[in-house]
Amino acid sequence: MISRLLSIALALLVLVAPQARAAIDESELLPVEQAFALSARTLGSEAVELRWQIADGYYLYRHRIAISAPEGFTPGALDLPQGKRKTDEFFGEVETYRHELVARLPISVSPGTREIALVVSAQGCADVGICYPPHKTPLRLALTDTAATPASTVPAAPLASSPSNPLAGLLQTNVMAGATDALPLPPEQAFGFEAIANSGDELLLRFTPAPGYYLYRDRTRLSATAGAQELTLGEPRWPQGVEHEDEHFGKVVVYFEPIDVPVPVQRAAGGPLDVQITATFQGCETDGICYPPMTRTLSVSLPASGAGAAPVAAEQAEDSRLAAALSGPNRLWTLLTFFGFGLLLAFTPCVFPMVPILSGIIAGAGNISTYRAFVLSLVYVLATAVVFTAAGVVAGLAGANLQIVFQTPWILVSFALLFVVLSFSMFGFYELQLPSSLQTRLSELSNRQSGGSLLGVAIMGVLSALIVGPCVAPPLAAAVLYISQTRDPILGGLALFALALGMGAPLLAFGTAAGRLLPRAGAWMDAVKAVFGVLFLGLAIWMLDRIVAPTVTMVLSGALLIGSAVYLGALEPVAAASSGWKRLWKTLGVLLLLAGSLQVVGAMAGGSSLLQPLKGVFGGGGGHAAELRFRTIKSSAELDQAIAEANAAGQPVLFDFYADWCVSCKEMEKYTFTDPAVQQALSGFVLLKADVTANDDVDQALMQRFGIIGPPGTLFFGRDGKELRALRLIGFEKAGSFAARAAKAGASP
């Protein structure tokens, strides 16, 4: 089916492309069956002779001739004579045939076989500069007939359209074969091309492949003219692309996303100059057709030499750079880099809650050896890594992030209740254990006698990966982007697994150390379990904070602090003969009592900050920082309308993806968007926000449109309504860096 689409679409492109009409009159081209007339005959039951009569002014490529057998018999290697060597514009060093080509195909058939079926694929060009798309001819030959047997194809009625069209033969076979699928995009829509003056001495070319299409880097040729004035283009500064194993050109570098290519300009005079820039380039549809080379010519007005123009970011966004690195030659180094990014992410607020979870598991296992602690920690880390990898691969292939699915309120509440249940067991209210009959059956599997259930630890690891974290960050987005572009879940999954192992390495070290450092059975062990009980309650509050009001979080946090203070004896008198440790715990309890009381008082007074519970209680609300006003967007249609309105007003756009359960989103709101420098940089922007908390079909469609796997994601659009892809931000960014990013976006056209 792909081959049919290839022939149909490329034929249509040749028929309708303005540059093709300008280069040659269509009536001068022969139909492909006449330009390369194929006949065949059987040589007994041992070989088939293929003979091409090639019209004058046409030639066939040797390396583009191939044989397939759709009915299952296996042909031998095609014996082709040596062709004429040629340096080809498209394929480099090749061999070609003119006038006539005779080839011998060995065959091996079962006794009694009367006929065979072949499909012969070939490709050729005309000397006038037009290359035909690959053409396939089906053959059915009788083995008993050693005379010349013409190529047998499926009979078809003549095409009703344009009988004088010389390329009708390209369409005829495919129409009669039933190719009814939608045609690929016209070249102007599949591959956008723009050119602007980046400065008086530099052009900026923008290539924009449509989603599902890619552009070859090394199939691009550039030239420029400026009337009578001498003008020379320097070497283009291509961004890093994706290494791709191509059916036609072998290992090449391609681009699946829009790219900006700066091109230096050398000229004799330094004044303003009007330039005609001509670009010839080639690209393909992913898993579909490859377009013939297309040529575009645009006019650009260069300012005086040395005069600057509005800067446009030519670099790639961090997720795009990392995705491209996965296809580079140093893949092992790239995987090690992802592991390093994982180590850095291990200390973010999204991953940190896994530390008390694993520590609580180790503490709850009782007296265990260092080796057993290592095994439990390893099972937990591997479980989180496997689920994290699977979720990322699914997001890349299907565009559905499993971790987002688990951020619904009822799941978060259930997980918070699980933490509460675990914490009460730490306090000694009860012991969590399976019914005795089931416990006996699973004892050998889980090795419960040695401390800790491997199955239970693995389940906690799975739940932690899906619900607790980690946050969406550039390395995660890069691996998912690579999978979605290349459909290569193996390398992309390895990158995700390396990232997850990096995040889990500190957990593994901490869990192993906890098994060695935790005290043995006794009063100390009860105290340690109580500490982990408090941590589990804190995790429950942290989970609920994603879906409840800040005042509720403050009250719950205050209650936890006050309860911990009571446990430490903050309200009990200290005897004169008490030890120093007793007095230290008393002091700590009083401080926790005071902190908890401030949380409760601040919540009742309308506060919303855990770190500053009394902010605004005294002295009114005059001290509140100014807030950015975002317009909430729900659907793609609303977004397009808002961007169009901003374009009409000549304003750039910031578009932010947010969710109540997204920890990094709240970091952006609290620490970045409140910064005066950021607010100043965004003063001329139209601010839009997509609240994807519900994660319904409309939210998912909006995220899939931009390839966003989950919030936070911040997109910038120029005054022309196009996304400034190189400035896209995935994850949290500090105020200073974000202000610089926004300033770049504000200076773009």
Amino acid at 508: L
- Give the mean pLDDT of 380-398: 82
pLDDT of residue 630: 92
Task: Report whether pLDDT(714) > 90.
Answer: yes
Return the minimum-mean-pLDDT range out of 24-28, 200-204, 250-254, 626-630. Answer: 24-28
Task: Report whether pLDDT(715) > 90.
Answer: yes
Written in H, E and C, the secondary structure of 553-622 is HHHHHHHHHHHHHHHCCCCCCCCCCCCHHHHHHHHHHHHHHHHHHHHHHHHHCCCCCCCCCCCCCCCCCC
Classify residue 676 as left (phi > 0), alpha (psi -120 to 50) or beta: alpha
Distance CA 616, CA 608 (A): 10
Which residue do the tokens 């914490």 mark? 423
| pLDDT tens digit sequence for 246-296 | 766 778 888 888 888 888 887 766 677 788 888 999 988 877 777 888 888
Distance CA 341, CA 396 (A): 19
| pLDDT tens digit sequence for 469-496 | 556 676 777 777 777 666 678 888 888 8
| pLDDT tens digit sequence for 48-74 | 889 999 998 899 999 889 887 765 567
Query: By CB neighbour count within 10 A (0-12 exposed, 13-18 middle, 19+ buried), where does 332 fall?
Result: exposed
Confidence of residue 171 (pLDDT cuts 50, 70, 90): very low
pLDDT of residue 150: 43
- Give the mean pLDDT of 181-202: 77
Distance CA 730, CA 707 (A): 11
pLDDT of residue 173: 36
How long a stretch of residues is the chain?
749
More confident residue, 494 or 358: 494
Query: By CB neighbour count within 10 A (0-12 exposed, 13-18 middle, 19+ buried), where does 18 fall?
Result: exposed
pLDDT of residue 332: 82
Mean pLDDT computed over every residue of the chain? 75
Confidence of residue 447 (pLDDT cuts 50, 70, 90): very low
Task: Report whether pLDDT(87) > 70.
Answer: yes
Handedness of CA 354, 355, 356, 357 (dihedral sign): positive
- Give the mean pLDDT of 216-236: 81
φ and ψ of 287, to 5 deg: 55, 30
Distance CA 701, CA 724 (A): 20
Q: Dihedral through CA 554, CA 559, CA 562, CA 568, nearest 10?
A: -120
Return the minimum-mean-pLDDT range out of 211-220, 416-425, 636-645. Answer: 416-425
More confident residue, 287 or 220: 220
Question: Which tokens go with 520?
Answer: 């043995």
Confidence of residue 656 (pLDDT cuts 50, 70, 90): very high
Q: Under a CB-based contact definition with an 8 Å cutoff, are residues 146 and 42 in contact?
A: yes
Task: Report whether pLDDT(404) > 60.
Answer: yes
Distance CA 690, CA 643 (A): 13
Residues 6+ apart with CB under 8 A from 248: 91, 290
pLDDT of residue 738: 92
